Amino acid sequence: MFNDFKVTGGRPVYIQLKEYLKRMITNGHLLVHQKLPSTRELSFLLSISRNTVLTAYADLEQEGYIYAIKGKGNFVSQVETSKAPTIELNWSDKINDQTFLANELDLMKKGVNWNKETIFFTSIAPDENLFDVDNFKRAFINRMSIEGNAILNYGYAKGYKPLIDYLLHYMEIKGVDITNKAILITNGFTEGLDIVLSSLKKNNGRIICENPTHHSALKLFQLHGFEIHGIKMDDDGVHVKHLEQSLAEREYDFAYLIPSYHNPTGIVTSSEKRMELMDLFSKFNLPIIEDGFNEELRYSGSHLAPLISFAGLGNNVIYISSFSKILFPGLRVGWVLADKDLIYYLESVKRARTIHTSTLDQAVLYQYLQEGYFEKYLKKAKSVYKKKYEIAVQYCKLYIPFKRMTGDGGLHLFIELEETIDSRKLLEKCYQKGTVFSPGDVFYTDGSGKNTFRLGFSRLKEKEIIQGIKIIGDELKNMMEAKK
């Protein structure tokens, strides 16, 4: 500011300064009650005498442009300013169809009003009370001191190299053959999926997936203009016969599957079925997008290898996962593991869109993982979630007259009621009693599932889980009674 003031010959300098300041005030560049530089500062800044500034300020004060407060300095008075004309645009007229669709599908905007006492079964986010903030702080300080200021500069679109190497090894331990495979770090699973969907050619514009499935994935498929075909699920994963029939009848661009703690059903696809699925997709030469978001949250039995590990050296599986459920969703760190030729192209899309995921976040996460805090956290979190899971299962069996309940672990259960019961009507009744859950229809590809709902228990206290389930059970029994 003030560096565009140029003294010209012919007129006294104090008048030139006065007019310059007047213009600054009337143009709105100096705001009402803004403090002006002291006469000493301004004379130094403009290389003019202090007396010149004093005289200009005195004149401006006399003309009402500025006012002085003893011992504090000079300030801009309230004067008429000429502002740029304001215009009122109607932004709704300028919004495109894709954005209207995103708005229409945005469940967050349609959430119910809540108060502190409401029991929320709607969330499947981790319980932040479990986060070990002290170790995270330690990881932050350690990594900052190792990396120094470079960590705050631009990084690489592919991601932070030590984290990529850590994850490659992590996936190798899960049984994945990482030969000719590479990783792209993304802002959570959701960005990974968005990048993949933006990058693949739409040959027939059709996707095949489990029915029901992850709502955010459905939303992205729709926003990318894909037609979605859902296959019903058995208790051990997708119904293979129906899948095979659909694959034989029509062509698809790819399949999207959530083999472990599927959202919303909580079903874990059995090992045998994973093998069967891989055989089937190989037969139809179809790429698979595997969503591995939750697979660490197994409370009993041994770990089930992801589909990508069954692919061996094959390259038809694009595995996308994140630390959102197993650690901290707020970090927004996820990864895509796939054929290195595909990652090569995805890297350019990532660079074009967001340049890269925050290096600081990736580096601190890497330090946290490398120091072994993750395993400790996971052990603790799993024991807490296991208890909540067991309580939820026990009390659902006790209080809710369901037709089918699924959920082999993870952070939620899925309930199917008698056909005649509309879960949104049940939700209305439960809401009056201070309990809410996610109506199941939002997860279905074909508008069905009106008699289903998802119960997320991860963030609730044990007594809230029991109390909430009892409320749902009582309201449901009342509805069933009224229908008799």
Ligand X SMILES: Cc1ncc(COP(=O)(O)O)c(C=O)c1O
Residues that bind ligand X (CB under 6 A): 124, 188-190, 214, 258, 263, 291, 293, 322, 324, 329, 334
Cβ proximity to ligand X, 30 vs 209, nearer residue? 209
Instruction: Give bridge partners of residue 452 from the DSSP assignment.
Output: 416
Cβ proximity to ligand X, 324 vs 435, nearer residue? 324
Cβ proximity to ligand X, 13 vs 217, nearer residue? 217
C-alpha to C-alpha distances, 396 to 122, 392, 411, 452, nearest whole angstrom: 16, 6, 15, 14
Cβ proximity to ligand X, 188 vs 230, nearer residue? 188
Shortest separation between residue 193's beta carbon and ligand X, angstroms: 8
Shortest separation between residue 80's beta carbon and ligand X, angstroms: 52
Q: Cα separation of 297 and 8, whole Å?
A: 75
Q: Cα separation of 111 and 113, whole Å?
A: 7
Cβ proximity to ligand X, 217 vs 392, nearer residue? 217
CB proximity list for 342: less than 8 A, separation 6 or greater: 199, 315, 318
Q: In what order do the strands lie in the sheet with 237-238?
A: 181-186, 334-339, 317-322, 288-291, 254-257, 206-211, 227-234, 237-238
Taking the alpha carbons of 201, 202, 203, 208 in that order, is the dihedral positive or negative? positive
Cβ proximity to ligand X, 39 vs 322, nearer residue? 322
Shortest separation between residue 407's beta carbon and ligand X, angstroms: 13
Q: Cα separation of 17 and 50, whole Å?
A: 12
Shortest separation between residue 176's beta carbon and ligand X, angstroms: 18
Single-letter amino acid code for the residue at 414: F
Q: Cα separation of 60 and 66, whole Å?
A: 6
Single-letter amino acid code for the residue at 308: I
Q: Which of 331, 353, 347, 323 is nearest to 184 (CA)?
A: 347
Shortest separation between residue 294's beta carbon and ligand X, angstroms: 7
Q: Cα separation of 142 and 148, whole Å?
A: 10
Shortest separation between residue 290's beta carbon and ligand X, angstroms: 10
Q: Are 258 and 214 in contact (CB under 8 A)?
A: yes
Shortest separation between residue 122's beta carbon and ligand X, angstroms: 12
Cβ proximity to ligand X, 214 vs 219, nearer residue? 214
Contacts from 349-352 at CB under 8 Å and sequence distance 24+? 349/195, 349/198, 349/199, 350/157, 350/158, 350/184, 350/186, 350/195, 351/157
Taking each helix axis as running N to C, give the angle between helix 13-26 and helix 50-62, from 0 to 180 degrees, rounded to the nearest 10.
50
Taking the alpha carbons of 307, 313, 317, 322 in that order, is the dihedral positive or negative? positive
Cβ proximity to ligand X, 52 vs 458, nearer residue? 458
> Helix, strand or coil for residue 409?
coil
Cβ proximity to ligand X, 217 vs 466, nearer residue? 217
Shortest separation between residue 126's beta carbon and ligand X, angstroms: 10
Cβ proximity to ligand X, 76 vs 333, nearer residue? 333
Q: Are 457 and 411 in contact (CB under 8 A)?
A: yes
Cβ proximity to ligand X, 378 vs 479, nearer residue? 378
